[in-house]
Amino acid sequence: MLLWMMSSPSYVIGGNDAAAFPLVAIRNRALIVLQVVPFVAMTAIILATILRGVAIKRRTGDRPLAFLSAKGVQRIAGLVFALSSLAMLVASARSAMHGSKDFTEIAALISTLGAVIVIIAQIQMGRAWRIGVREGDAPLFISHGLFRFSRNPIFIGMMLTGLGINLAAANWWAWMALGLFCIACAVQVRIEESHLEASFGQDYRDFCVMVPRWIGCGPMTA
């Protein structure tokens, strides 16, 4: 039996088989690292959001966390944002430890892309960056950078990060959280559009004609 095992091709390691083992080991290590990426991406978004809010408050005196004083539908949307974001953060932490390895690479890529979009868009908004809207508070609207391609790149980036997390986590409740997050985005976008139109009038209506609500390749306006 021992002689058969040693002579069988299934048990003989040599040539290309021996060379393949280090590659498999390297790939396995890479997958372990990539599994953590969605969690890092979500954490980076949360930290960037907190730091951005603190920086604007210190530099301008503005209070960018408008959700804190929101009422009605916007308050509900803000609560859904908070709870669904927390659920996706938990899902990303769980997937970092023992998530599905079926979509590890694509999940890492999508979640990283989403986080990069969110952080860049936050920076490009400058003083105009807000979480939610409040009456009488609209310093300006942004039409440069990522806002040439979408009126809501931050929401798009968040949804992409959520998609990456769900591909890695493969949990039904995480998918439900992402679905609720997307619904809240759709509701909040319309609230913000009404607010900006009331604040900037025709200039904002022209901007809406030029740039799609979600994503597209409209005219490049500064």
Range with the largest mean pLDDT of 26-30, 42-46, 48-52, 135-139: 42-46
pLDDT in tens, 95-117: 888 766 778 899 999 999 999 99
What's the pLDDT band for 31 if we cut at 50, 70, 90? low
CA distance 102 to 170: 10
Asked whether residue 202 is domain-assigned, the answer is yes
Q: Are 147 and 153 in contact (CB under 8 A)?
A: yes
Asked whether residue 12 is domain-assigned, the answer is no
Q: Are 39 and 96 in contact (CB under 8 A)?
A: yes
On the question of pLDDT at 220 being above 80, the answer is no
Residues in the chain: 222
> What is the reported pLDDT for 11?
43
Asked whether residue 215 is domain-assigned, the answer is no
Expressed as residue numbers, the domain containing 47 is 36-210
CA distance 123 to 88: 23
Would you give the DSSP letter of residue 64? -
**Residue 139 or residue 24, greater confidence:** 139
Number of domains present in the structure of the chain: 1
Asked whether residue 14 is domain-assigned, the answer is no
User: Under DSSP, is residue 57 helix (H, G, I), strand (E, B) or coil?
Assistant: helix
Mean pLDDT of 51-69: 83
pLDDT in tens, 152-164: 999 999 999 999 9
Asked whether residue 71 is domain-assigned, the answer is yes
CA dihedral (22, 38, 50, 142) positive or negative: positive
What is the pTM for the complete model shown?
0.82
On the question of pLDDT at 59 being above 50, the answer is yes
User: Under DSSP, is residue 28 helix (H, G, I), strand (E, B) or coil?
Assistant: helix
Asked whether residue 28 is domain-assigned, the answer is no
What's the pLDDT band for 9 if we cut at 50, 70, 90? very low
CA distance 128 to 122: 9
Asked whether residue 160 is domain-assigned, the answer is yes
Least confident of 36-45, 97-106, 139-148: 97-106
Q: Which two tokens stand for residue 102?
A: 């079926």
Mean pLDDT of 132-143: 80
Q: Are 174 and 87 in contact (CB under 8 A)?
A: yes
> What is the reported pLDDT for 69?
77
**Residue 34 or residue 120, greater confidence:** 120
Q: Residue 72: give its domain's CATH number.
A: 1.20.120.1630
Asked whether residue 88 is domain-assigned, the answer is yes
Q: Are 157 and 44 in contact (CB under 8 A)?
A: no
Rg (CA), the chain: 23
**Residue 196 or residue 99, greater confidence:** 196
